[in-house]
Structure 1
Amino acid sequence: MSIPKEPRQLMINIMYLVLMALLALNVSAEVMNAFQTLDEGNQNSIATVDEQLDATVKGVETILEDDSKKRFQPIQPAIEEVRSISGEFGTYVDQLRDLMIDRSGNNNGEVDDEDYKVDHGVRALRGKKNKDITTRLLVLGEDGQGGLGAELKEKVIETRQRLIDAYSNLLTEHGQNMDLKPADIEAKIQSVAVNMPFNIDDEAWKEADRPSWEDFKFGHMPVAAVMPLLSQMKSDLKVSESNLVNDMVSLAGGKVIEIDKFFPVFNADRSYVIGGEKINAKVSVGSYSSSLDPSNVDLRVNGQRLRINPDGTADFSITGSGTGQKTLTTSVAVTNPLTGEVKRGEGKFTYEVGQRSVSVSADKMNVFYIGVDNPVTVAAAGVASGDVRVSVTGAASKKSGNNSNLIVTGNSVGDAKVNVTAKGQTLGSFDFRVKRIPDPKAKIGGSTGGKLRSNIFKSQSGLYAELENFDFEAKCGITGFELLYIPKRADPVVSTNAGGNFTASTKKLVDLAKPGDNFTIRNIKGRCPGDNGPRDLGTMSFQIQ
């Protein structure tokens, strides 16, 4: 087989040689799967070229309808002959493939589902590792007198010559009428014969000291390895067919759209990840024709038409705004200059807009209080907000809210943890102390003790508890106390008071206050949210003035 000039074909051939070398090293399962991938790649390549050929032929038919192109009309039957010859060989190879698939499968005379099996989640040939079938069918033959490989070789030689003859007959009989000089005609015919990738390499098997071409190609080869060999022959033929058709179309002044630019396309399922997460992507080969007029390509992002570069790409930029997930819609419309047919495609690209952020926390302030709502804000830079999950363990629990803004309540004095995860990955665990609400101050008229004018003291209705320098919404109450009245010139009198408001007996003593008297309020008891019982708030003493 001659060395192809097309980059894609050369790449496929190199890949096949590498896989052959791996097979020689007995790298079994992976190689078998790789052969299947290569075969599928060949089949996709054939389908792509076939689609391009259909468009080219349709275009030249339109061109030849013009009366000014009447002298080029012999091109049309020549194209039909070339495509028919190619189709015959393709059918022959497909029959040969089916025969091997069935014989290495359930051997029931037809290709069906029983000839396949699911291997590691992939539908594969049941007899893909079978080497006896390929050797017996293609090399030795059923009767030991020679297999179908020799016939295949002759078919290749015959088909190749028929293609050359069809092209040669067109140029020999009509070339001069198409403005070709005799020297040009001869040069074109010679070029086709020399450069046609569809060929038989009749030297390699001799240099390898093998008994025949078919033994060299197929002897003791597993079915999985022979499949891409056969599809490669069809691919070489399809490229040869395309070259001949395009050359004949060019004689009539038809424009040939040749795919000559290739580039990798990486389509990932996300554009924002953190350590430990996977990126899943489709990696493919993009193609473009440098001969295509950029005006025939309408490429848009969010409706904005982009300027096409010489390599078939376009530049686009956008400034991120807001936060969260954003989506760009893409579309392309390519007009075939030969047929006027417009091919369209659409797609989407999703990305995440984040914010630069910094968090500063004082370790000693990492406290949850029992009995009040403790608001917590979680900001995880570098992670999609919808993926964040927050849990609270230990002496506190999550009361309400979402995974960005939540309310935590303390359950008991001790330690708690706030755990932040995203898609199964732990982003961090943060320690908090859980405490009771601090003791409030017992007050009368805004005072906690000391000198107080008699009229102000007598105007009060009772004691109240005040939380000083406490940022949470919480209200503590007085549950009881003892008031000791010490007159300036009389014996002390005690009143036991339930609750914070003065009872009648307590109020009666308060109303007796006059300058020089003393009042001591002792055994003050209070209660705050989350308390299981009253707490001691100390003693207050007042000197009446």
Structure 2
Amino acid sequence: MAGGKASARQKMINLMYLVFIAMMAMNMSKEVLSAFGLMEAKFADSNEATIERNDKLLAELEGKADENPKEFKVPAARAQQVKIISDKFYKYIETLKRDLVKKGEYVLDEKGKLPFEAMDKTDILDELWFTGDRLTKKGDEVMTNINAYKKAVNDILSTDESYRGRAQAFEKTFSTEKVENKDGKKIDWLAYNYQGFPAIASYTKLTAMQNDVKVTESDMFSLFLGNIVSEATTLNNYKAIVLADKSAFFAGEKFQGRVVIGKYANVAPTKLVVQGKEIDLSKSIDSTGAATLDFNVGNVGEHDIKGKFTFIENGQELEIPIVNANYVVVPRPNSATISADKMNVVYRGVKNPMTISFAGVPDNKVSASASGLTKAGKSGKYTMVPTSGKEVTIIVSATLDDDSRVSDKATFRIKDIPKPTGQLAGMSNGKLPRANIAAGTVKAELLDFDFELPLSVTGFKVKVPGQPSITVSGSKMSGQARAAINKARRGDDVTIFDIKSRSSGPAIKPASPIVIELAN
């Protein structure tokens, strides 16, 4: 453009043109850098929200594991593994981001915001991670950590064939295969994504990788909970629904009905009428869109259920009638109803409330017997206090109107009182001032236990770093324990363990330890 044959005037015009283009490029660069900064901020906000959501999902899984260990103990354990793996890799990526900011000598403003438009250096990661066509020691470390994270997650996903779809999606998200550039040449994944890029672009990509980690964690928690939802069109979302011609059959009859493929519509109706009576929607519609019916069944015999749903579709009312619905009222019961009021197990040494009845038989003609079972006063109410063994069987008998007798039984598992949680100042671990620890009261709490069973701490042990363990009687620190705490240094962990307690009923296991960091 500025060749030797051009006139002086033409050379000057060409030079001005080059300066103009350079100025445009500088302005565009600032806009691009700022756009990367805005993207990074959005990823960071998303990460915070996902972390909070994941904590709730993990807590739900752990709660289900306590309620139903047979079904959820293994998924909850896998979720804990995923949590540890994800947190470790997430924190490692955070160190890479801090190194990038430190090497670039970037300073946050008073709002804690990065100087996006100034983060245009391309040589920071180039020097840290790359040397010619190879990776530096730091670059190898980055790839080692990525591959270690991938392997750890894949090891968990390989434990169950039903996780295959999630494993394939994970591999696609964290693929580190060579990438073809615009010239058709395949280059290493790390170089393709980070070599030669402005600092803010690399910083944003690292935050995006953290987002992938937390989204993967969320998907796996949902997978373990059984909440991964397929596409709406897949038949996996449908159920085989049996529609019987009537809801009860007498002995000797043939079953008559139909099987259809359908699914529940989670759409709120505007009106529901059953048996000529309008139903209160606020009390009868559940989260799946199903309506709960509650009406007197009437006399013995067959009865039809008539009514209709009313929905709004395209701005107009749409009525869907209830058809082919009926039920049968039968006079003779053939099975007992035995249920635990609070759970499907009974706890050793405490009063477990029970409801025991025989369908269609008054309470004064029903008798129930089992070790530790007594009447509780009200109709159908009993109290079970199991003492030994792993199971207890309740046998129920009833006398019918024709003086014939029927009987049934149910077996419940007997569980010990769960291990209590040790607490000081309402916490099991955390940070407290020295005086608060020395003056605090050690407690043993049965968290999430459905029975009132107050516990009294009778003794515990205290361990301060660099000093021998101290045995304490009662629930308050002894003089020796307070002296040891006063000798500890700020930041030391004071461990309270072997926390023994007693109840008004059964023996109680030692509570879990308490670890408190000295705040001063």
Q: Same fold by TM-score, threshold 0.5 exceeded?
A: no
Q: What is the TM-score when the length of structure 1 is the normalising length?
A: 0.30
Q: What is the TM-score when the length of structure 2 is the normalising length?
A: 0.32
Structure with max Cα Rg: 1
Which protein, 1 or 2, shows the higher relative CO under an 8 Å CA cutoff with sep ≥ 6?
1
